[in-house]
Structure 1
Amino acid sequence: MKPWQVITPGALTTVQDRGREGWRHVGVSRAGALDPDAAALANRLLGNDPDAAVLELTLQGPTLKLAQPARIAIVGAAVAATSNGRPLPGQRPLTVPAGELKLGGIREGVRAWLSVAGGFDLPMILGSRSTDLRGGFGGKEGRALRAGDLLPLGKSPPTNTAALQNAAWWVGADDYDCGIAHPLRYVSSGHPAAAALAERAWSVSADSNRQGIRLRGQPLPNIPHHNVSEPVAVGCIQLPADGQPIILLADAQTVGGYARLGYVISADLPRLAQAGPGAVLAFAAVGIDEARRINLHHRHRQARTALAIDRQLARHP
């Protein structure tokens, strides 16, 4: 397969997979898609390995030049996408001809993920093709895409079409709302200010990024402490001295000394990937047993979706 060429890179487009596991003990972040479930779904729609590399699009996607036809899928928030000027739907397999693939503005969220049959064939570093922006490695030279970049593709069956082909079936889009009616659930650390997190609404600060979401609202009381740095993980809710919480995301550091209010449960982490500047978030505390029950239900739903996709692909390869 001939590589794709980046014509315009978009606001922040990176190569990601489900992340770099097993290296946090030496200070290496997980990185990977901010919504690993969405990345795996995009791959599933094409019959790829669930950990094949995809493109993560933020706010505005790239324009790409395809030298030959390709099978692709776009999942996540809605994207104004076209193939040679023809609109592309999301959440399903697509076969697009050679030419211009334009991924425009993203709405009803912040991020989307683009998969291609065979995946993007970038070098594996520490077991992953993910871009670690803070570390400056992985993906495309450890950075966001730039105009002129070439994206090599993995092996896949040849596609020969001069016209756009959309699958007649699709998978439903997830609900990414984190507002008052759909609060983010978290397991409290027992910190004196942890309960107050759920007593008020918070807005997402414009200086949030893949490392973490910074919240703005009525400051929480922060008891002075002298903790040494301790291990942290994705979903940790930290409380800096200013009383404005930070929720750690995929590119977060591996240790931290701020007080901790708790952890957002794993089933709700995908919604944080779509929380853009100004979004209003609410929180609700749950116990560890409830968090496990919710996670089990979430995984069962994913497994059912995967089976349904596999059946469709078997009928319409």
Structure 2
Amino acid sequence: MTTHLRVVAPGPSSTIQDRGRVGYQRYGVSVAGAADPLLHAVANALVGNRPGEGAVEFTLAGDSVVVEGGPVRIAVAADAELTVDGEPVPSWTSLRLTDGQSLRIGALRSGMRGYWAVEGGFALQPVLGSIATHIRSRMGGLDGGALKPGDRLPLALDQAADRGERCLDPSLLPGRGGRLRVMLGPQQDYFTPAGIEAFLEEDYTVSHEADRMGCRLDGPVIEHARGFNITSDGIPLGAVQVPGTGRPIVLLADRQTTGGYPKIACVVGPDVAALAQMRPGERLRFTPVDAAEAGRIQARHREMVDGLPALLQSAGGFALYDSGRLLGFNLIGGVVTGWD
């Protein structure tokens, strides 16, 4: 029997993502892929996969799945409460589950998105070289949509390798603040000096109009100098479009391939992931960098992803349950307070 994970209760908008459909945007195909490539790579590293292997991205709360076959090895990269058959287990750690066991991923304590990966990845047919889900075009993943109850996710490995488990201390990952680094352009001449100054000197707030396609920001209006329509051109990851409202929109993983609003700037790649993890109401500010610095930022990000296996530690024995990890678990259930 081919090993599967059966979805009992999916989280909101849980989808299978890998690195996306690179090279097809010129043909009108959205890239898709993980909104936070670093956490996606962490989940894969914990189970021994390559960084770009397909994994599940969940939003605000995770999924409940049951093993059918196996055993399987699974890991969750997220600050969330996890249970196996109702017993608390750690995140940021690989877990070996046997036939019939269930994993439940609770609500995120911080951030917008988390990831879980399975050793060997999913046995799904790639579409244009990728299994990434793009819901608007019904492409990739499992039937082109979000996970739903009863879905059975086929795994590439019938049995997980018999080896020790690995964990990662999330404090070793780069910190993320409220400053997003940007390169100005390519249409900054469509904005007045006052508009550019407002963009770079004032705070903005993540609005409720945010999804995997883009994030609209609330804050000072960015003043146009030459109208707000251009001949449609390509939309890179992190492009900051400014429509007629003057409210900036940062384009994310599921962005459209072309657009006709002028772009005042582009957020550097690692900071796009930071924005994708921000919740509505969180504040941010843009900081300009030049092309050389943007290149260095991206190079450091690649080094971090490539170096993830070296950051992993053995999760065997009592080392897995040190005081810091124990304090992160909800070890007591069924207790109620005596007041409202």
- TM-score relative to the length of structure 1: 0.89
Q: How does 1:68-79 map to 2 (within 5 A)?
A: 68-75=70-77, 77-79=78-80
**Counterparts of 1:49 and 1:297, CA distance in 2:** 18
Does the 8 Å contact 1:188/1:195 carry over to 2?
no
Q: Which residue of 1 aligns with 2:331?
A: none
Q: How does 1:224-263 map to 2 (within 5 A)?
A: 224-263=227-266
**Counterparts of 2:136 and 2:298, CA distance in 1:** 29
**Counterparts of 1:206 and 1:53, CA distance in 2:** 28
Amino acid of the structure 1 residue aligned with 2:246: G
Deviation (angstroms), 1:134: 1.5
SS at 2:287 equivalent: strand
Q: Which moved more, 1:220-229 or 1:256-265?
A: 220-229
Does the 8 Å contact 1:231/1:255 carry over to 2?
yes
Amino acid of the structure 2 residue aligned with 1:108: S
Of 171, 183, 191, which residue of structure 2 is paired with 1:187? 183
**Counterparts of 2:243 and 2:153, CA distance in 1:** 40
Seen in structure 2, the aligned counterparts of structure 1 residues 206 and 129 have a Cα distance that, compared at 3 Å, is same
Q: Which residue of 2 aligns with 1:151?
A: 153
Q: Which residue of 1 aligns with 2:284?
A: 281
1:221-270 per-residue CA deviation (whole Å, 9 max, x = no partner) reads: 12314411011111101101101100000100010111111110123222
**Counterparts of 1:83 and 1:195, CA distance in 2:** 52
Q: Which residue of 1 aligns with 2:137?
A: 135
1:25-62 per-residue CA deviation (whole Å, 9 max, x = no partner) reads: 11001101101232222112212233221100101111
Q: Which residue of 1 aligns with 2:168?
A: 170
**Counterparts of 2:66 and 2:213, CA distance in 1:** 30
Seen in structure 2, the aligned counterparts of structure 1 residues 62 and 312 have a Cα distance that, compared at 3 Å, is closer
Does the 8 Å contact 2:229/2:262 carry over to 1?
no
Q: Which residue of 2 aligns with 1:35?
A: 36
**Counterparts of 1:157 and 1:195, CA distance in 2:** 57
Q: Which moved more, 1:206-215 or 1:274-283?
A: 274-283
Q: Which residue of 1 aligns with 2:299?
A: 296
**Counterparts of 2:197 and 2:85, CA distance in 1:** 52
Amino acid of the structure 1 residue aligned with 2:204: W
Q: Which residue of 2 aligns with 1:196?
A: 198
**Counterparts of 2:256 and 2:197, CA distance in 1:** 25
Deviation (angstroms), 1:9: 1.2
Does the 8 Å contact 1:124/1:138 carry over to 2?
yes
Deviation (angstroms), 1:69: 3.2
Rg bigger for which structure? 2
SS at 1:151 equivalent: strand
Unaligned residue ranges in structure 1 (runs of 5+): none
Does the 8 Å contact 1:217/1:244 carry over to 2?
yes
Deviation (angstroms), 1:5: 1.0
**Counterparts of 1:226 and 1:11, CA distance in 2:** 35
Q: How many residues align?
A: 304
**Counterparts of 2:222 and 2:14, CA distance in 1:** 34
Q: Which moved more, 1:249-258 or 1:36-45?
A: 36-45
Deviation (angstroms), 1:176: 5.8
Does the 8 Å contact 1:188/1:194 carry over to 2?
no
Seen in structure 2, the aligned counterparts of structure 1 residues 118 and 229 have a Cα distance that, compared at 3 Å, is same
Q: How does 1:211-230 map to 2 (within 5 A)?
A: 211-223=213-225, 224-230=227-233
- TM-score relative to the length of structure 2: 0.83
Deviation (angstroms), 1:206: 1.0
Seen in structure 2, the aligned counterparts of structure 1 residues 217 and 225 have a Cα distance that, compared at 3 Å, is closer
Q: Which residue of 2 aligns with 1:271?
A: 274
Identity %: 36
Seen in structure 2, the aligned counterparts of structure 1 residues 232 and 262 have a Cα distance that, compared at 3 Å, is same
**Counterparts of 1:175 and 1:266, CA distance in 2:** 14
Deviation (angstroms), 1:157: 4.2
Following TM superposition, where does structure 1 have runs of at least 4 consecutive aligned residues deviating by more than 6 angstroms? Answer: none
Deviation (angstroms), 1:146: 0.8
Of 96, 101, 115, which residue of structure 2 is paired with 1:99? 101
SS at 1:205 equivalent: strand
Deviation (angstroms), 1:159: 5.8
Q: Which residue of 2 aligns with 1:122?
A: 124
**Counterparts of 2:107 and 2:175, CA distance in 1:** 17
Q: Which residue of 1 aligns with 2:323?
A: none
**Counterparts of 1:217 and 1:176, CA distance in 2:** 25
